[in-house]
Amino acid sequence: MESPIKVFSNWVLSGKDVGMEKNHYGSVKNMIEYSTKEIGKFSFLDAGCGNGWVIRNISSNPNCEKAIGVDGSSNMIQKAKSLDNKNDYICSDLLHWSPKNKADIVHSMEVLYYFENPETVIKHIHNNWLKKGGRLIMGIDHYKENKPSHKWKQETSITIMQLLPKQTWLDFFKKVGFNKIKSWYFGKDGIWNGTLIITGTK
């Protein structure tokens, strides 16, 4: 068994990080369309940015004034920097970093269940990363109602992968103080329940 960060660092070495853009693209497009509609100019943080593909995409949006990617894997961050010298990429555990300037949007795709206690990281983002009125939007494919994802922990031998029901994630958002909480599934197809997307404002 290996830590999430060690496993994802190895994914960069084997080129597997590239597949995440392909697999997550539809859900991320849906999340970004939602979080950027009717907002005007915005700053954007990607919590667990992987190789930085979302930051490279969002930064071409004319309304995006600043985009920063944060990831715990030094290989992911090294790769992100090698592909983009325009935006900032930070190598840090999400729990140990805060931006100098709080953001309008914090986006996170397929990351927040790799924490011993996801509520702690959601609270940290709420308190230290977001402006008042700012939005956290998260997407996850590994959760209780999505049966095909139940075997992933065993398949990947990753030490921490929390398998929680939608209601528990909604409770985290509520408990840490998010307002206007909304959730939906994106990309449901047969027994694949789709990406669970949850969002709320500070």
Ligand X SMILES: C[S@@+](CC[C@H](N)C(=O)[O-])C[C@H]1O[C@@H](n2cnc3c(N)ncnc32)[C@H](O)[C@@H]1O
Query: Which residues are near ligand X by CB under 6 A?
Result: 4-5, 8, 20, 24, 48-50, 71-73, 76, 93-94, 109-111, 114
The sheet with strand 195-201 has its strands ordered as: 88-91, 64-71, 42-47, 103-109, 130-140, 195-201, 179-186
- Residue 163 Cβ vs ligand X, minimum distance, rounded to whole Å: 15
Q: Which is nearer to ligand X, 62 or 126 (CB)?
A: 126
- Residue 40 Cβ vs ligand X, minimum distance, rounded to whole Å: 25
Q: Position of tokens 């693209």?
A: 25
- Residue 50 Cβ vs ligand X, minimum distance, rounded to whole Å: 3
**Extended beta strands in 14-114, E state:** 42-47, 64-71, 88-91, 103-109
- Residue 182 Cβ vs ligand X, minimum distance, rounded to whole Å: 20
Q: Which is nearer to ligand X, 84 or 110 (CB)?
A: 110
- Residue 188 Cβ vs ligand X, minimum distance, rounded to whole Å: 19
Are 72 and 80 spatial neighbours (Cβ–Cβ below 8 Å)? no
Q: How many helices (H) and strands (E) does the chain have?
A: 7, 7
Q: Which is nearer to ligand X, 6 or 180 (CB)?
A: 6
Q: Which is nearer to ligand X, 43 or 51 (CB)?
A: 51
Give the C-alpha separation, 116 to 186, whole Å: 26
- Report which residue type is found at 122: I
Q: Which is nearer to ligand X, 52 or 200 (CB)?
A: 52
